Amino acid sequence: MPPPVSNTAHAPAPEESVVVRAAVADDLPVVIDLDRRNTGLPKPDYWHDLFARYGARDGRFFLVAEARGTVVGFIIGEVRAWEFGSPPCGWVFALGVDDSVRLSGVGSRLFESICEGFRTAGVDKVRTMLAVDDNLNMSFFRSQGMMGGPFIQLEKALD
């Protein structure tokens, strides 16, 4: 009888053993579970909709990292253009890594892969937007060389 399959990697995977590839529909349950564990909020409808809009589309990237046959992370982004005058650039708007493999290079591999996709799509800048208190992701993106850019996020309550 084969051993039970776990969706959680229990030991950090060496960076070289991580494979980054485009997400397929079968990855969604693991991605949804990983996001639920990281955010505390299950949102399967959102993820199915996201996969329909971002899976295998030109200029859109829904990538997963696989270590020892298990999905341990994901990153999603797209090429956006001319928002308030911004020339085409890569936008990363979702990133998740299983906390059991953090600090083993999985996030870096995902980020490098999506940046390569952006380069191939012809853009030379990558951007993201984060909550000001999201220290985990902020530190990660900083560690990849990202810095404050020329745009600023604004909002107001709609009374």
Partner 1 sequence: MRLQKATRCALFAVLELAGQPDRQLSATDIAERYGISSNHLAKVLRDLGRAGLVESVRGAGGGYRFAGNARRLTLFDVIALFEDVDAARPMGREPGDHTENGQALRLVLQEIDDIARATLRSITIDTMLKTTQWRRDRAARAETVR
Does 129 sit near partner 1 (CB under 8 A)? no
Please state, in angstroms and as integers, the Cα–Cα distance from residue 89 to each residue in 24, 26, 125, following that order. 25, 29, 5
Q: Smallest distance from the beta carbon of 80 to partner 1, in angstroms?
A: 23
d(CA 123, CA 90): 7
Nearest to 138 by CA among 92, 77, 98, 83: 92
Binding segment (CB under 8 A) for partner 1, from list 25-33, 74-82, 88-96, 138-146: 138-146
Show the binding pattern over residues 46-85: x = contacts partner 1 (CB under 8 A), - = does not.
----------------------------------------
Pick between residue 26 and residue 159 the one whose CB is nearest to partner 1.
159
- Say if CB 115 and CB 87 are below 8 A apart: no
Binding segment (CB under 8 A) for partner 1, from list 34-42, 77-85, 119-127, 133-141: 133-141
- Say if CB 111 and CB 19 are below 8 A apart: no
d(CA 100, CA 10): 6
Residues 90-109 that bind partner 1 (CB under 8 A): 103
Does 133 sit near partner 1 (CB under 8 A)? yes
Report which secondary-structure segment, H or E, holds 109. Answer: helix 106-120
Please report, as ranges, the residues that interact with partner 1 according to CB under 8 A: 103, 132-133, 135, 138-139, 142-143, 145, 148
